């Protein structure tokens, strides 16, 4: 929706509320609800928010250890600058539109380098300087549970009941029983301007997957974030809870968010070369080799929480090794569309909890470094990638991933030391908070027997 279209809707009293949103470190929408007429007064300038919004955890706590802000620094303001190209209606909320914002420093009016949207924009610019545009797509996997989030929380998150009772992977009959939730999700998001292609049942009871058409990297991250937010709100309106936690039960398959990626130039896929085996270009070889070499460096952006690492298990379609293969779902990196102009890389490491801006920026940084270094791509892995438990392992814990991030020369150069330190502290805080907790597992195992 253009700005003029919004003004027309406001004048006709079709819109009375505008959500003015930023994206936080966790990939969530934060911001304000403006009366529509008041929004017009700030739409082409700015509004403000507390700078703690880029230094909180999932619980909105205020951890210490961030260089950017603190109690001693007084928790000042950030500038929220509306990006009017992101204006759109929110079809499931009456009279409501939405606009995403970029985050600027209150004193210098320059972009905050570690804000998620800016991190991705910087890597997009780097790709453009090399002559490429980044084209990506994400797949959203999630579970739907009976009862709203509020109802489930009031019951202590016990006796969780998925919307279905059995593995519904590609299952038409079972997913028909869920259409009262999934149909409005598809239709409302499409109406919102998000190019939803379809949905399907995934490989567990109550698990869904939503597929969105590929786009340039920034639009893809915006689509992903808005879709994730919309799924939760639309499900809530119908008395259900949608969750993007990667592993909600030790005996259940986890939820991923696979990322498809390629580079374009002058409207053509530069990963495609009809003269090469698999139609895979030399540029694609270098890019894939960069993803492989720096996979551990960027894992914290694909798996940002302690729970994220519970998903990496044999026989679950979640990878355990950083190898590439051709159309092989046991590998971390799957070559898709071989022999065609749509040849691309699917990264299967990210979980459903990833922040798409940070995740895609990290992948771009690794792939572009592979091109710059002209890295040689090793031969494709063949067979079951779960068989080898020692070589090319994905970091097994958030601590391992955080250490790899801290020591990454590549990411310190690509993102800047300030950004690396900022997200390393976020990972460290998650570890500290988890280590304080006495779990049900510990009580049941040791209460009598220890």
In this structure, the answer to whether residues 204 and 308 fall within a common structural domain is yes
Q: Above 90 in pLDDT, residue 278? A: yes
Q: Above 80 in pLDDT, residue 269? A: yes
Distance CA 314, CA 163 (A): 26
In this structure, the answer to whether residues 206 and 322 fall within a common structural domain is yes
Residue recorded with tokens 């040689």: 376
Q: What average pLDDT does this structure show over 408-425?
A: 96
Kindly report which listed range (61-65, 67-71, 362-366, 408-412) carries the lowest average pLDDT score: 67-71
The answer to whether residue 90 is domain-embedded is: yes
Beta-bridged to residue 146, according to DSSP, are 240
The answer to whether residue 44 is domain-embedded is: yes
> For residue 310, what pLDDT band results from cuts at 50, 70 and 90?
very high
In this structure, the answer to whether residues 14 and 159 fall within a common structural domain is no
In this structure, the answer to whether residues 24 and 171 fall within a common structural domain is no
Which one of 79, 107, 135 terminates a domain?
107
- Closest by CA position to 235, among listed 352, 355, 92: 92
Residue 385: what pLDDT? 87
What is the residue-averaged pLDDT of the chain? Answer: 95
Residue 387: what pLDDT? 86
> For residue 327, what pLDDT band results from cuts at 50, 70 and 90?
confident
Total tally of structural domains belonging to the chain: 2
Q: Above 90 in pLDDT, residue 285? A: yes
Those residues with Cβ within 8 angstroms of residue 433's Cβ, 6 or more apart along the chain or in another chain: 57
Residue 425: what pLDDT? 96
> For residue 179, what pLDDT band results from cuts at 50, 70 and 90?
very high
In this structure, the answer to whether residues 204 and 302 fall within a common structural domain is yes
Look up the CATH number of the domain holding residue 299. 3.30.590.10
The answer to whether residue 433 is domain-embedded is: yes
Residue recorded with tokens 């802000």: 69
Residue 223: what pLDDT? 98
Structure tokens at 71: 């109690």
The answer to whether residue 181 is domain-embedded is: yes
In this structure, the answer to whether residues 61 and 148 fall within a common structural domain is no
Residue 75: what pLDDT? 86
The answer to whether residue 117 is domain-embedded is: no
Residue 73: what pLDDT? 84
Look up the CATH number of the domain holding residue 13. 3.10.20.70
- What pLDDT, in 10s, does the model give residues 20-68? 999 999 999 999 999 999 999 999 999 999 899 999 999 999 999 998 8
- Closest by CA position to 302, among listed 256, 334, 262, 249: 256
In this structure, the answer to whether residues 170 and 284 fall within a common structural domain is yes
**Residue span of the structural domain in which 293 resides:** 123-441
Q: Above 90 in pLDDT, residue 398? A: yes
> For residue 149, what pLDDT band results from cuts at 50, 70 and 90?
very high
Which one of 77, 107, 137 terminates a domain?
107
Percentage of residues in the chain with pLDDT exceeding 70? 100
In this structure, the answer to whether residues 91 and 239 fall within a common structural domain is no
Beta-bridged to residue 18, according to DSSP, are 34, 97
In this structure, the answer to whether residues 385 and 279 fall within a common structural domain is yes
- What pLDDT, in 10s, does the model give residues 422-448? 999 999 999 999 999 999 999 999 989
Q: What average pLDDT does this structure show over 4-31?
A: 97
In this structure, the answer to whether residues 274 and 404 fall within a common structural domain is yes
Q: Could you tell me the pTM of the whole model?
A: 0.95
- Closest by CA position to 350, among listed 338, 363, 369: 363
Residue 10: what pLDDT? 97
Q: Above 90 in pLDDT, residue 76? A: no
Q: Above 80 in pLDDT, residue 390? A: no
Q: What average pLDDT does this structure show over 176-200?
A: 96
Element (H, E) at 210: strand 207-212
Q: In the chain, count of helices (H) and strands (E)?
A: 14, 16
Residue 420: what pLDDT? 97
The answer to whether residue 116 is domain-embedded is: no
Residue 391: what pLDDT? 79
The answer to whether residue 449 is domain-embedded is: no
In this structure, the answer to whether residues 419 and 274 fall within a common structural domain is yes
In this structure, the answer to whether residues 214 and 300 fall within a common structural domain is yes
The answer to whether residue 118 is domain-embedded is: no
């Amino acid at each position: 929706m253009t700005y003029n279209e919004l003004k027309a809707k406001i004048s006709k009293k079709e819109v009375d509320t505008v959500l003015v949103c930023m994206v936080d470190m966790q990939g969530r929408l934060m911001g304000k609800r403006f009366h529509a007429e008041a929004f017009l007064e700030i739409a082409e300038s700015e509004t403000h928010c507390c700078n703690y919004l880029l230094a909180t955890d999932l619980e909105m706590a205020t951890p210490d250890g961030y260089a950017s802000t603190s109690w001693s620094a007084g928790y000042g303001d950030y500038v929220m600058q509306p990006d009017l190209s992101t204006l759109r209606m929110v079809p499931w909320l009456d009279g409501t539109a939405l606009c995403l914002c970029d985050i600027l420093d209150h004193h210098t009016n320059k972009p905050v380098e570690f804000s998620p949207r800016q991190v991705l924009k910087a890597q997009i610019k780097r790709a453009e300087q090399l002559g490429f545009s980044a084209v990506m797509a994400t797949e959203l996997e999630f579970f739907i549970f009976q009862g709203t989030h509020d109802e489930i929380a009031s019951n202590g998150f016990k006796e969780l009941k998925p919307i279905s009772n059995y593995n519904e992977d590609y299952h038409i009959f079972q997913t028909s029983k869920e259409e009262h939730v999934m149909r409005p999700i598809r239709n409302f998001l499409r109406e919102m301007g998000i190019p939803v292609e379809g949905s399907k049942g995934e490989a567990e009871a109550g698990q869904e997957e939503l597929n969105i058409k590929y786009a340039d990297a920034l639009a893809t991250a915006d689509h992903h974030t808005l879709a994730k937010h919309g799924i939760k709100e639309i499900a809530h309106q119908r008395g259900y809870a949608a969750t993007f936690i990667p592993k909600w039960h030790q005996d259940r398959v986890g939820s991923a968010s696979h990322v498809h990626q390629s580079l374009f130039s002058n409207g053509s896929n530069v990963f495609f070369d009809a003269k090469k085996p698999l139609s895979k270009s030399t540029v694609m070889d270098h890019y894939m080799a960069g993803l492989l070499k720096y996979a551990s460096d960027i894992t914290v952006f694909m798996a940002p929480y302690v729970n994220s690492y519970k998903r990496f298990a044999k026989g679950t379609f979640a990878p355990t090794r950083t190898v590439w293969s051709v159309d092989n779902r046991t590998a971390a990196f799957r070559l898709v569309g071989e022999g065609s102009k749509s040849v691309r890389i699917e990264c299967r490491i990210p979980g459903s909890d990833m922040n798409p801006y940070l995740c895609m920026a990290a992948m771009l940084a690794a792939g572009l470094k592979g091109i710059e270094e002209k890295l040689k791509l090793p031969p494709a892995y063949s067979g079951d990638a779960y068989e080898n438990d020692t070589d090319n392992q994905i970091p097994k814990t958030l601590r391992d991933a955080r250490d790899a991030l801290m020591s990454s020369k590549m990411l310190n150069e690509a993102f800047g030391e300030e950004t690396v330190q900022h997200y390393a502290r976020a990972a460290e805080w998650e570890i500290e908070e988890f280590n304080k907790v006495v779990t049900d597992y510990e009580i049941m195992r040791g209460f009598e027997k220890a």
